[in-house]
Amino acid sequence: MTNTLLMRTVAHKGARMTFGSLKGVAVATALTMALATSSAHAAGGGVTVEAQDWSFSGVTGHFDKAQLQRGFQVYKEVCSSCHGLKFLHWRNLGETGGPGFSEAEVKALAAAAEVQDGPDDEGEMFDRPGLPSDSMGSPFANDAAARASNNGALPPDLSLIAKARGVTRPGLPIAPLNWLRDIISGDETGGADYLYGLLTGYPENPPEGFVLSEGMNYNTVYEGHQIAMAAPLSDDAVEYSDGTPQTLQQHAKDVTAFLMWAAEPKLEERKSLGIRVMLYLLILSALLYLTKRSLWSRLKH
């Protein structure tokens, strides 16, 4: 199912509950109807974000390991100078369903980070190389230091950003269809679509007549269109070793996939469990039906 042309309205919101892979067969038909109807709608008012194709969307969605590794590289080489990932630990980078770095690679990545520890016997704090069990932390000692380096703006921690941002799509004419569509599609890639839109949404110049405050940058999808973060990515911002094209769009896609994994490292597990649960329920229903038939068949009409 591709819905690349679907335009969605951006909404800043907390993580939304998705029913993920528990998608009923019966409602699938309604989904097809609902999506068909919604793609005809251009987003009314507000900002629009274009839906992208993601390997992790849908019932059988999974992360592309090579993409996560490239995304991590983009995060490390570009974003990590301003943004932290404090809910992620170095060892997570080696877990299944993620970028899949080897144990030695994880150790080396952790060791390259300096971590403050202590106090030692003299009561002094000291720096030591990071361990796989350390949090990936934040580049700044505290929020005030982060603001001081960024013209007063706070670069948010990115651990959960892919879930903390999302989109709402234009309403369908029949209210229950919205409800069905949201359960089925879960809008679970809305956060990723938004992040991609944000990172690729820096036109050379703001539209004519738009008054930009000092030190701010125009962005097509950010709320109010003024963001303190300057365009962080460009073509060739990061050198890939696997021959993947080093375009701005590719960098944005890769880092977005990585941030999606960071926000939900167990996505693959959740989806495959969902499929198994659905299969189990289907088989159980068939068996119950057969049992019911054989029990009632003994009754004379």
Cα Rg of the chain, angstroms: 23
In the complex with ligand HEC, the residue whose CB is nearer, 213 or 241, is 213
**70 lies in the binding site for ligand HEC (CB under 6 A):** no
Q: Do 103 and 110 touch, CB atoms closer than 8 A?
A: no
Minimum CB separation of residue 106 from ligand HEC in Å reads: 21
Residue 254 in tokens: 């890769």
Minimum CB separation of residue 67 from ligand HEC in Å reads: 14
**195 lies in the binding site for ligand HEC (CB under 6 A):** yes
**255 lies in the binding site for ligand HEC (CB under 6 A):** yes
**181 lies in the binding site for ligand HEC (CB under 6 A):** no
Rounded Cα distance between 181 and 190, Å, is 13
Q: Kindly indicate which of the ranges 126-134, 169-177, 193-201, 266-274 contains the residues binding ligand HEC, using the contact rule CB under 6 A.
A: 193-201
**227 lies in the binding site for ligand HEC (CB under 6 A):** yes
**47 lies in the binding site for ligand HEC (CB under 6 A):** no
In the complex with ligand HEC, the residue whose CB is nearer, 11 or 27, is 11
Shortest CA distance to 86 belongs to which of 139, 43, 40, 131? 139
Burial 212-223 (b: 16+ CB within 10 A, else e): eeeebbbbbbbe
User: Residue 48 carries which side chain, given as an amino acid letter?
Assistant: T
Rounded Cα distance between 301 and 29, Å, is 37
Q: Do 49 and 10 touch, CB atoms closer than 8 A?
A: yes
**233 lies in the binding site for ligand HEC (CB under 6 A):** yes
Q: Kindly indicate which of the ranges 89-97, 107-115, 223-231, 270-278 contains the residues binding ligand HEC, using the contact rule CB under 6 A.
A: 223-231
**260 lies in the binding site for ligand HEC (CB under 6 A):** no
Residue 116 in tokens: 């403050």
Q: Do 247 and 46 touch, CB atoms closer than 8 A?
A: no
Q: Kindly indicate which of the ranges 47-55, 228-236, 275-283, 284-292 contains the residues binding ligand HEC, using the contact rule CB under 6 A.
A: 228-236
User: Residue 135 carries which side chain, given as an amino acid letter?
Assistant: S
Backbone angles phi, psi at 27, to 5 degrees: -80, -10
**155 lies in the binding site for ligand HEC (CB under 6 A):** yes
**83 lies in the binding site for ligand HEC (CB under 6 A):** yes
User: Residue 301 carries which side chain, given as an amino acid letter?
Assistant: H
Q: Which residues are CB-contacts of 194 (< 8 A; sequence separation ≥ 6)?
A: 10, 49, 165, 166, 167, 221
**137 lies in the binding site for ligand HEC (CB under 6 A):** no
Residues in the chain: 301
Minimum CB separation of residue 247 from ligand HEC in Å reads: 14
Minimum CB separation of residue 237 from ligand HEC in Å reads: 8
| Residues lying near ligand HEC in the complex (CB under 6 A) | 74, 78-79, 81-83, 150, 153, 155-156, 161, 165, 195, 198-199, 222, 227-229, 232-233, 255
